[in-house]
Structure 1
Amino acid sequence: MEEKDGVIGALLDRRAAEEGLRRFGAEVDFRWETGSTNDDLKAAGKRRAFGHPVLLSVARQSAARGTRGRQWRRLGDALLFSLGLALPQFGHRAPGLISIAAGVAVVRVLRAAGFDAALKWPNDIWVSGGKAGGILSEIVRDAEGRGSVVVGVGLNVTLPADHAAVTTSGWRMSALAVGEKSPFENDPARRTAMLTDMAAAMLTAFRRAEDEGVETVLQDFPDADAFAGRSVFWQDAGSGMLAEGVDRGVDADGRLRVETEEGELLLGGGTSLVNAAGGWM
């Protein structure tokens, strides 16, 4: 990737990112393109567990993945990065909380920047009522058994005004700017600040969960939750039928607590909330 005065490809300023993440001792790596930032950092974590956080961001990915191996679809400009770090202790006990803690952190940064953002359990970034991105957390171990976690974030920055894209669960796709120019156009400083703020917020959330307990994640989730106190729908694993309940937050394992007529149920991370009116598949 071409670099001049620390600005890479007129997209990101590596030196500014390094300065913004200095307090975490983080390493910053920007590239034009790779297959998957998560796969790159997972390979590094398998060779040797991370001793310090590593932030990897690219302009393009040729093999991006979402939950359950689904291909991540990019329809316009996007912010793409992964964060690799030593597996936090709470991640050993409750790996499902990693994506939730990261998602809440990303939502807070977006809201502070003026975007109408929320988190749809367990790992979808919601902007203006649609899916604008997602978070993929993956745990790996090196030959000595030391754990690392890689947290990938893909966020749509722009989408065309006439797009008709929907997710496999029937939700419409969204972005920071739909039918408008990128908020980062010709502004690598702003793009870098957004990326750095997200990474810093994620690392801060992980530290807080370590120091103060996972209750911090449980307490922070409702404010970010896109469907807090509202009815949600999912496909029942047993019957295959559409089931309904009211979103009541998450438990200490990151499962969604839903209130139904039969009592409270806990939905695991393999469950997807579907848009009952949106042609989910």
Structure 2
Amino acid sequence: MGTDNIRMTETGDVRQQILEVLLKERDAFISGNELSQRTGVSRTAVWKHIKALETAGFRFASSTRVGYRLTEVPDLLFPALVAERVPAGQHIGRKVVWYSEVDSTNRVAADWVQENAPHGTVVTAETQTGGKGRRGRGWFSPAGGLWLSVIFRAPIPVRVAADLTLLTSVAVRRAIVQETGLPVQIKWPNDLLLHGKKICGILAEIRADGETLQHAVIGVGLNSNIPAAAFPHALTDYATSLAAYSDQPISNLQLAGRLFSELEQLFQGLILHGQGFGHVLDEWRAASATLGRRVRVQTPQGLVEGVATDINAGGILYVRQDNGLVVPIHSGDVLF
């Protein structure tokens, strides 16, 4: 990840503690001595942490006599900034680990699983050097996008584990529509499209113990603030970003806050009440970019071609072939 990689974690991190103090007293100057006392480090160490935060995009008014005052925050998912958007009692986003750069948030989240990170922990990064999609494909992940993974820990049956991806696609769409009003559609099984171009992919990696889910890492790669000119030529016909389409910047912080709220609602419904994908099936159908279209689906058993007619509460896609036979598809990649 490189020696200049910056990591921000929960309240035990000194920089996090400094930010929490300055955010709480945002209109006031806080002396270096007071920050030193609150964090338990020297004034010199406080100064070094302030400089590191400036490198990440924070801006401070400072004076040798009166201390520091926070004047500007970056649009990054720093734990202290996310905490302002996570209400009491919510699990998703309660603990956030932010990196300036990682290979893959899903991979790093898997490491945090081994460290017993709690349910709802979010691992996020400004950039990914080895972002991944389904079937091991690469994922273009420059600065400006929303790259994050959510750790899911709950005793749900393995048979409904696939609902996590489907519910996440609904949660992401809800958050985008609420924040931007853009006409986002869902492509089976796990992509979000904007006027036919991909803006988001979702990748869930699960581990089970018998018939019960042990944990899952649910990755979300959302092209939020990537300029149109930044996309490689090979992707310009297939991918876009929210900002490129709307011609205005999107607040990743606000978008993530809405996403965490929607995920909390849907995941809690699944955990506590067994309200899986079937609970939002009609909403998914209404937002579908797949149903009613002629498709080619690459499945483990081979290529299936026909018209996508429906999806059931288990997430199974039905394709009616030209001979009239309706084929249920449990997994695969849809090509229009």
Q: Which TM-score band (shorter chain)?
A: 0.7 to 0.9
* Aligned match for 2:282, one of 219, 229, 242: 219
| Structure-2 residue corresponding to 1:165 | 234
| Structure-2 residue corresponding to 1:33 | 101
* Aligned match for 1:193, one of 238, 254, 274: 254
* Aligned match for 1:77, one of 117, 126, 144: 144
Deviation per residue, 1:129-168 (Å, 9 max, x gap): 21112001111369xx97111111111122425954349x
What is the TM-score when the length of structure 2 is the normalising length?
Answer: 0.68
Moved more, 231-240 or 71-80: 231-240
Q: Distance in 2 between the 1:141 and 1:45 partners?
A: 13
| Structure-2 residue corresponding to 1:232 | 295
Structure 1 residue ranges without an equivalent (≥5): 185-189, 276-281
* Aligned match for 1:15, one of 62, 74, 80: 80
> Does the CA-based 8 Å contact 2:118-2:151 persist in structure 1?
no
> Does the CA-based 8 Å contact 1:45-1:141 persist in structure 2?
no
| Structure-2 residue corresponding to 1:264 | 326
What's the CA shift for 1:236? Answer: 6.0
Secondary structure at the aligned position of 1:77 is classed as: coil
Q: Distance in 2 between the 1:39 and 1:46 partners?
A: 11
| Structure-2 residue corresponding to 1:156 | 223
> Does the CA-based 8 Å contact 2:319-2:328 persist in structure 1?
yes
> Does the CA-based 8 Å contact 2:149-2:217 persist in structure 1?
yes
Query: Greater CA radius of gyration, 1 or 2?
Result: 2
* Aligned match for 2:270, one of 206, 209, 217: 209
Q: 1:236 to 1:179 in 2, by over 3 A?
A: closer
> Does the CA-based 8 Å contact 2:118-2:153 persist in structure 1?
yes
> Does the CA-based 8 Å contact 2:186-2:288 persist in structure 1?
yes
Deviation per residue, 1:171-213 (Å, 9 max, x gap): 71121122776513xxxxx321111211221221111233143
Secondary structure at the aligned position of 2:89 is classed as: helix
What's the CA shift for 1:23? Answer: 2.5
Root mean square deviation of aligned Cα: 2.9
Moved more, 152-161 or 128-137: 152-161
What's the CA shift for 1:108? Answer: 1.1
Q: Distance in 1 between the 2:307 and 2:189 partners?
A: 16
What is the TM-score when the length of structure 1 is the normalising length?
Answer: 0.80
Q: Distance in 2 between the 1:120 and 1:239 partners?
A: 20
| Structure-2 residue corresponding to 1:279 | none
Paired amino acid for 2:82 = A
| Number of residue pairs the alignment of both structures matches | 260
Q: 1:27 to 1:72 in 2, by over 3 A?
A: same
Secondary structure at the aligned position of 2:141 is classed as: coil
Q: 1:81 to 1:238 in 2, by over 3 A?
A: closer
